[in-house]
């Protein structure tokens, strides 16, 4: 067992990080919608007359969907950049969902742009759709590149669709997803070369260059340069792996000046282990103990090929990390008392928070949900932390007949009569998260005090 304690030092550091603040989601969404309104205004400015003519309506709609699609693509790229301020204020899970939703909108708008524009041209010229489409691609400037980029968008969108995504290996999806950058580059020039809003309008062209240039610069800064700088500075390696419980292993990672990573309990990194079979995979795992100047720890349950292979890591294996990410930290806390609900792999960030969240005897409660007692990973550590801090540690496992105990509003109020005065940190499988969230709301916990990160798309 890899018992790690950082005790009072970690709690002092966590206390300094507690600065409760409102979510940044609404301001960010307001800026995005304001940009969409500006794009609509640009289209309206360049459409002085809307004639009651089928060809004009179709081509006008094609221009509008093309503009909105180009704008949505830039926003999607920005959301791929993992900008630290955005991740901390909005949350990695919400940014991830925004990226997925924005990608669907972008692909839908691009498809609508192509179909409406070609249809409008075909009505005007009195030709068929296929003939007109081939003519547009072959005769208009930068259209061959745009056609290739559009096909790439369709491939990426198809692979990212839920039904397909669940059947494709993560690595396949990840590397196909990188083609997004090529698709963006190929379609960008067509927008400026043929878009009525940009031809002869230097101001609009400048704004578009700034929008895409800023998205590209932030992407390079935080997805390329920041990880290179982090890994050159800290030079992380595997120290050892430790068996914790059936199917659960901890990986201890050493490095230089790891306290300068700025990682907080509750956060995660994307880890790449540079050894055969793992070097091409980058997976997110939370810290399962407070970070120390010379040591980090992750604890992983074997749910797939990558996580199962971590138990075979050799000491000295080089580690490439990106992060830290996530907003499930002490900064979300607003009340003195805290309830933590964990299930499955969700115990890892909860264990780090359980040790480090400041609080007196009776202020902290951890409820751990598992199928059976053998699945209660890190249980000995949790008991030791609870004993040392005067915290409450509870577990809920299935009965001998396999019946699972439900988390209900009544049981929550019995457990904590003043539950409405608690902050709640929640991490676990989607089913547990939904059930717990609904029960907490019915038990009187306001939405703003239920802190949860989920990467279900």
**What is the count of structural domains for the chain?**
3
Q: Per-residue pLDDT tens, the chain, 457 aa: give them.
A: 445 555 555 444 444 444 444 557 888 899 999 999 999 999 988 887 667 788 889 999 999 999 999 999 999 999 989 898 888 778 788 888 899 899 999 999 999 999 999 999 999 999 999 999 999 999 888 999 999 999 999 998 888 887 777 787 777 888 888 899 999 999 999 999 888 889 888 999 999 999 999 999 999 999 999 999 999 999 999 999 998 888 889 999 999 999 899 899 999 999 999 998 888 888 889 999 999 999 999 999 876 666 778 888 999 999 999 999 988 889 888 899 999 999 988 999 999 999 999 889 999 999 999 888 888 889 999 999 999 999 999 998 887 776 778 889 999 999 999 999 999 999 988 888 899 999 999 999 999 899 987 655 4
Task: Tell me which residue range forms the domain holding 270.
Answer: 235-325
**58 and 179 belong to one structural domain:** yes
Structure tokens, 84: 């630290």
Cβ atoms of 352 and 377 within 8 Å: the answer is no
- Can you state the angle between helices 143-160 and 129-139, rounded to 10 degrees? 120
d(CA 71, CA 55): 24
257: domain CATH number is 2.40.30.10
Question: Within the chain, how many helices (H) and strands (E) appear?
Answer: 17, 11
- 17 is a domain residue: no
Vertex 345: Cα angle to 341 and 348 (nearest 5): 70
**239 and 339 belong to one structural domain:** no
Nearest C-alpha neighbor of 392 from the set 416, 364, 418: 364
d(CA 73, CA 399): 50
d(CA 422, CA 7): 23
Cβ atoms of 423 and 398 within 8 Å: the answer is no
Residue-by-residue DSSP string for 161-185: SHHHHTTS-HHHHHHHHTHHHHHHH
Of 229, 247, 281, the position where a domain reaches its end is: 229
d(CA 431, CA 337): 25
**66 and 196 belong to one structural domain:** yes
**198 and 249 belong to one structural domain:** no
401: domain CATH number is 3.40.50.80
161: domain CATH number is 1.20.120
Of 308, 325, 342, the position where a domain reaches its end is: 325
Give Cβ neighbours of residue 316 (< 8 Å, ≥ 6 apart).
237, 238
Verdict on whether the full-model pTM lies above 0.85:
no
**97 and 220 belong to one structural domain:** yes
Give Cβ neighbours of residue 140 (< 8 Å, ≥ 6 apart).
194
Structure tokens, 428: 């676990």
Residue-by-residue DSSP string for 377-410: TTHHHHHHHHHHHT-EEEEEE--TT-PPPP--HH
Cβ atoms of 343 and 369 within 8 Å: the answer is yes
Cβ atoms of 441 and 79 within 8 Å: the answer is no
423 backbone φψ class: left, alpha, beta (φ>0; ψ -120 to 50):
beta
In 10 A of CB 359, how many CB atoms? 18
């Amino acid at each position: 067992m890899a018992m790690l304690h950082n005790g009072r030092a970690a709690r002092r550091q966590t206390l300094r990080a507690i600065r409760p603040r409102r979510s940044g989601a609404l301001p960010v969404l307001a800026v995005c919608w304001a940009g969409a309104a500006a794009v609509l205004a640009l289209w309206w400015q360049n459409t002085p007359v809307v004639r009651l003519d089928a060809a004009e309506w179709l081509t006008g709609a094609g221009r509008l969907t093309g503009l909105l699609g180009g704008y949505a693509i830039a926003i999607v790229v920005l959301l791929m950049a993992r900008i630290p301020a955005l991740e901390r204020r909005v949350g990695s899970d919400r940014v991830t969902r925004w990226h997925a939703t924005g990608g669907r909108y972008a692909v839908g708008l691009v498809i609508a742009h192509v179909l409406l524009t070609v249809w409008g041209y075909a009505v005007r010229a009195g030709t068929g759709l296929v003939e007109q489409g081939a003519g547009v691609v072959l005769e208009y400037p930068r259209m061959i590149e745009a056609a290739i980029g559009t096909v790439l968008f369709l491939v990426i969108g198809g692979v990212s669709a839920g039904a397909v995504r669940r059947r494709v290996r993560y690595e396949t999806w990840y590397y196909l997803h990188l083609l997004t950058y090529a698709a963006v580059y190929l379609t960008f020039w067509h927008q400026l070369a043929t878009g009525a809003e940009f031809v002869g309008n230097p101001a609009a062209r400048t704004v578009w260059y700034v929008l895409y240039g800023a998205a590209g610069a932030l992407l390079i800064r935080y997805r390329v340069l920041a990880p290179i700088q982090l890994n050159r500075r800290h030079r992380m390696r595997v120290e050892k792996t430790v068996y914790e419980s059936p199917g659960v292993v901890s990986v201890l990672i050493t490095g230089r000046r790891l306290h300068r990573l700025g990682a907080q309990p509750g956060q995660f990194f994307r880890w790449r282990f540079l050894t055969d079979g793992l070097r091409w995979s980058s997976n997110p795992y939370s810290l399962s103990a407070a970070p120390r100047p010379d040591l980090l720890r992750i604890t992983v349950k074997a749910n797939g090929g990558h996580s199962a292979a971590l138990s075979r890591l050799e000491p000295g294996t080089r580690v490439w990390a990106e992060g830290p990410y996530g907003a499930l930290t002490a900064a979300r806390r607003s009340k003195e008392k805290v309830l933590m609900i964990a299930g499955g792999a969700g115990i890892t960030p909860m264990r780090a928070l359980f040790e480090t969240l400041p609080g007196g005897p009776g202020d902290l409660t951890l409820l751990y949900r598992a199928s059976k007692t053998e699945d209660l990973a890190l249980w000995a550590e949790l008991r030791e932390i609870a004993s040392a801090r005067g915290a409450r540690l509870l577990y809920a496992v299935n009965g001998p007949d396999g019946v699972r105990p439900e988390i209900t509003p009544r049981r929550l109020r019995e457990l904590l009569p003043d539950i409405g005065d608690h902050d709640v940190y929640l991490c676990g499988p989607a089913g547990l998260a939904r059930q717990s969230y609904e029960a907490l709301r019915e038990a009187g916990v306001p939405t703003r005090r239920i802190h949860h990160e989920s990467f279900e798309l």
